[in-house]
Amino acid sequence: MSAIAPQPVSRLTGTTAASGSTTQTALVLSDGRVKIIIRRVKLKHTAGAAATFTPRIYKVSGALSASINQEFEGSSTAVAALFDTVAEVYTFTDSSGKLYLEPGPNAGADNVFDYEVYFEIVR
């Protein structure tokens, strides 16, 4: 049996549009459905009315917190702090190669976040 060659870790960065408590940002990781491992998730609140936020990642658009489609949930984080968590989350993207990031601010619809998601495509 031959060993599977490790794939390089990729980094996706961006900034969300104005976000409310359930606003999701599409993360385009591939051009089609792939199996991935989420390795690290970072978010920094840069503007808006929230005092705290709880980041989540879903495998389908419009999924709800605590649903079977939720793949990752971070801890409640004060907006002055950097959310930075190392993870090992195995999942699949949707058919268009996307996951969906929900920063999860506790108040307002004007919140903006910078994000970095580190992931590996598993072959």
Tell me the pLDDT tens digit for each residue of 16-43: 999 999 999 999 999 999 999 999 999 9
pLDDT of 5 above 80: no
Are the CB atoms for 120 and 22 separated by under 8 Å? no
Q: Does the structural domain 10-122 have CATH classification 1.10.3470? A: no
What is the pLDDT confidence band of residue 2, given thresholds at 50, 70 and 90?
low
